[in-house]
Amino acid sequence: MDHAQLVSAFREKGVLHLKEGNGKVVTLMRPELWKPEMGEDWTFLLFDLFQIRSICEPFSEVSLDIVEYTNKPTVYHSPANRIIKNGPIVDGVLKFSLILEPNWNKLLFQISQPVLLKLDSQKATSFHTSILFPLLSPTTKEMFLGPEGEVKIIKG
Please name each of the domains of the chain with its CATH number.
3-155 (3.90.870.10)
Helices (H) and strands (E) in the chain, counts: 4, 8
Task: Read off the DSSP letter of residue 128.
Answer: B
Average pLDDT of the chain, as a whole number: 92
- Mean pLDDT throughout 10-38? 94
* Predicted local distance difference test score (pLDDT) of residue 71: 87
- Mean pLDDT throughout 140-151? 90
More confident of the two residues 86 and 26: 26
Q: How far apart, in Å, are the Cα atoms of 132 and each of 10, 42, 47, 87, 138?
A: 19, 19, 16, 26, 12
What's the longest Cα–Cα distance across the chain? Answer: 44
d(CA 36, CA 51): 23
* Predicted local distance difference test score (pLDDT) of residue 1: 66
**Sorting pLDDT into bands at 50, 70 and 90, what band is 61?**
confident
How big, in percent rounded to 5, are the helix, strand and coil portions of the chain?
Answer: 30, 30, 40
d(CA 20, CA 15): 16
* Predicted local distance difference test score (pLDDT) of residue 11: 94
**Sorting pLDDT into bands at 50, 70 and 90, what band is 152?**
very high
Question: What's the pTM value of the predicted model, to 2 decimals?
Answer: 0.93
pLDDT digit string, tens, across residues 92-116? 999 999 999 999 999 999 999 999 9
